[in-house]
Chain A
Amino acid sequence: MTTHSVEHSDEFRAGRELGLNHVKLGMWLFLASEVMFFGGLISSFLHYKLNNPSLESGLLDVLLVGGNTFVLLTSSYTVVMALAAARTGNTAGLVRNLLLTAVLGAAFLAGQGYEFASLIREGMTPTSSVFGSSFFTLTGFHGLHVLVGLLWALRNLAKALRGGFGEGRALGVEIFGLYWHFVDIVWIVLFTVIYLI
């Protein structure tokens, strides 16, 4: 290959490559699509909430869900600590924090299940009103995302126990972390939109 063609090749590559990790970039693009997904659901919820005021909104328990919000925030902290541990090759710290993340994710889902059961007992169901329908759709899809994250955390935990992560091999934990933190951010917004305003 001539010098000229090498330079041309470099320039070509420089123009095409962003110099970013493709897996990580792919996750960010996926999260952008998730913003649009939840954006549509939140917009419809707000539309129904504002244009069809329902007494059922008074059934929502801010204290219970506030506790659940705290659980999810704590899980974000354990995920970021898991990543820090993975990057330094601290397998024990990684396993401990991934396990805590899975427990906290399960606790969040249990809290949400309890809330759903309480609301249904009070007569608020997915078919009782437009508010109920939009509420269960929005929070249900978020819960489904937490469930996916929980399964992912358990998969990473199994991999960590086999010594699959370590210094320079933490990308899998980082990608999982991006997803988990995004799910946390969505809940931060939902908590405000549904329960506080």
Chain B
Amino acid sequence: MSQAPQEREHSASSGRLGYGGVFLLLALVTALEVWLGSVGVLRSVRTAFFLVLSLFKAGMVAAYYMHLRTDSRLYAYILVAPAILLFVFSIIAAVP
């Protein structure tokens, strides 16, 4: 079967950051999360802050390690569509 132009071979470094750079970034953010989770931060910003960090980490893994940055956009749509539904369900679940 022929490969579409979108299905490009991913270089070993996968972009400017490189796999090692992405790993270091993820490790740093995780260390920050654990530290803040241990010492505790203001309740009012806690949820939003940790959710943003979590989405950032998940996005980095998907973009660089799963190669969604360079692969067909269809794969990204396939992953994001149910994730949006998950977000909606979570909001509904969060309402008492």
Q: B-contacting residues of A (Cβ < 8 Å)? A: 17-22, 24-25, 28-29, 31-33, 35-36, 38-40, 42-44, 46-47, 50-51, 62-63, 66, 69-70, 73-74, 76-77, 79-81, 84, 87-88, 177-178, 181-182, 184-185, 188-189, 191-193, 195-197
Contacts and interface: CB of A to CB of B under 8 A. Distances in A.
A80 B61 CA distance: 10
Contacts of B82: 32-33, 35-36, 39
Contacts of B78: 28-29, 31-32
Contacts of B38: 62-63
B47 interface: yes
Contact of B34 (A19, A63, A197): A63
A19 B6 CA distance: 9
Nearest to A35: B82
B61 A188 contact: yes
Interface residues of B, number: 53
**Top 4 closest A-B pairs, CB basis?**
A19-B4, A66-B34, A39-B86, A192-B54
A76 B65 contact: yes
A40 B14 CA distance: 33
Contacts of A43: 86, 89-90, 92-93
A46 B37 contact: no
Contacts of A62: 34, 37-38
A69 B53 CA distance: 14
Contacts of B19: 77, 80-81, 84
B interface, over-half SS? helix
B30 A66 contact: yes
Nearest to A72: B30
A42 B37 contact: no
25 contacts: A18-B74, A20-B6, A20-B72, A21-B7, A28-B74, A32-B78, A35-B79, A39-B85, A39-B89, A40-B89, A46-B90, A47-B93, A47-B94, A50-B93, A63-B34, A66-B30, A66-B31, A70-B27, A76-B23, A76-B61, A87-B9, A188-B58, A191-B54, A192-B33, A196-B36
Contacts of B66: 177-178, 181-182
A38 B38 CA distance: 26
B1 interface: yes
Interface string B57-77: 110011011100000101100
A31 B68 CA distance: 14
A72 to B, nearest CB: 10
B42 interface: no
Nearest to B56: A188
